[in-house]
Structures are given as structure tokens and as C-alpha cells.
Amino acid sequence: MSVVLLGAGGQLAHDLAPLFGEELLHAYDHEQLDICDRRAVERTLEGLKPQVVVNTAAYVRVDDAEGEPAAAELVNATAVADLAAICRRIEAKLVHFSTDYVFDGMKRTPYVESDPPHPINAYGASKLAGERAIERTCRDYLIVRTSGLYGVAGSSGKGGNFVETMIRKAQAGEEIRVVADQALAPTSTAAVAVGVRALIEAGVGGLVHLACQGECTWAEFAEAIFAELGLVQEVRAIGSDELRSPAKRPAYSVLTSERPEVKRLAPMPGWRVALQTHLGARAQRERPTAGMQ
């Protein structure tokens, strides 16, 4: 299996790349290959002729998307539609990542793949448009929806991730104010990467939900981060209206899969277990190398 990875500068790609080993023909970050440059993408993929194209590139600034929806649409929908057409032409499987924000949050039980999407912000709408472009165009594809991603590499598009933001604020002695009326299943990129690799190997296609098991609010997630690190840190739970964010967020966006093959091949850990594993890997990464000052 030959693989090309797009969006290699991001936190999800950081955990995906090592899993493909020698199968990885090339990993391109934004500077090396802009997915909005159709001709460059076409020329590159037609030259390499991979069997699988994994796209992790995305416009992920949820609040900014409200003021510049065309920019989000360009990356998350138009470029994805072009990529889907190229993958169909070269007969490559397209693996693409989407979001829990395609839902409106009106449910109070986890969303499954057959639930009808209804985004309530521009970011979610752009990601849904990308999904539908792939479904219309590709013969062989895997769309992976996930939720509340965090990884040891951080998130280049957001300037960090929730875990890193909470730790930074606590270390700086800042007040921690976190919404307590939005529930999700926070998910580590390491867990998603392992699951995606298993699904690709098994030839699973279509739409899947991959998110850690269980659910919590963002405030509860923050409290768990501090508890795992042994930090005595007060978390002030607030309502979404206090943040006055440009983009609306779904009040409930927990994801789970109804597909038996996904549950069998890519069982996801509980969100607390994933957080513990992540913080352990983070500590290992930050530990000075022996012999170095």
C-alpha cells in the first residue's frame, strides 16, 4: 500500500505518519503542497500514483470562519472536491477527516453515522460540503468524523489545542473560565490514528465516526486535565453566552459509531484513558535527553 499524506504539519498527521512507515511515499505540509492549488496537487498525485491519499489539511478556525466563510469553503469544500476528482481519476482511495460540528446539538444521545447533519456555524457547513463532494465524486473513500481533537504536536491551525491551552493558562496563573453547557467526546489524535490505520488496512470505506468513548463538558475536561497532572487549579464553569464567540457551537456533539466493523476493527478508548495516555506521551516528549543540559 502506497500512501501520500496531506496537511503533514498538523497534530493528526504527526501521529498518522509513523504508522505508515515505508508505505508513506511523501508527507506534504501546507508550504510544500497547498491543497487549494489544484494543478500542483494534480501534478504531484499523478506523478506518485499512490493507492491511498490521506487528507488532514483543513481550515479549522471555527470563529474566524464566521467572518470569512469563503476562506473556510475554499479549503474545506472546494479544494476537497478537486482532490476527490483527482483521486477518482488516479484510482486512489481518499481518506478525509470531518467534524462533530456538522450536527446542531439538539440530540442528547451520541450521534451516529445515519443521523442527519445540520450545521449551525460556517465551519461545520464547509466541512459538510466537503463530505458531500467526496460522496458524490469518489468511488473509494473513507470519511472520518471525530471530536475535540488534541495531540502532542499541538494544532498549527489553532495555535495550540485545548489541553495545551489549559496547561499554559494554569502555569501562567490565569483565571480558567470554561464552558459547562457543551458536551463532547474529547479525542486524542493518537487514538484516531491507530483506528484509521486499522480501517484502511481492512478496506473499510464510507462514513465513520471515530471518537473516544464517554462524554464530558469542556469544563469537566479541563478539570480532568488538571487532576491528571496533579495541579490544584480552580475551573470556573461558565455558559456559552458568556464567551460571546462569533460562532455558535452545538450544545451536544458526542459521536459514536453504529457500524459493527468500526467497533470491531477500531475500538476507541474512553476519553479519560486517552487523556492519561496523551499526558504520559507529552511528559516523555518533554523529558530532556540523557546527557543533555
Q: Which amino acid is at 132?
A: R
- CA proximity to 146, closest of 133, 165, 161: 161
Positions of E strands within the chain: 3-6, 24-28, 52-55, 93-99, 141-146, 149-150, 177-179, 183-184, 187-188, 206-209, 216-217, 236-238
Measure the CA–CA gap between 160 and 108, rounded to whole angstroms: 29
Task: Supply angle C-alpha 279, 284, 290, rounded to 5.
Answer: 165
Coil, strand or helix at 27: strand
DSSP assignment string, 167-208: HHHHHTT---EEESS-EE--EEHHHHHHHHHHHHHTT--EEE
8 A C-beta contact, residue 121 and residue 62: yes
Residue 123 annotated to the active site:
yes
The grid coordinates of residue 57 equal 489539511
Residue tagged active-site, from 123, 141, 150, 252: 123
- Which residues are designated catalytic? 123
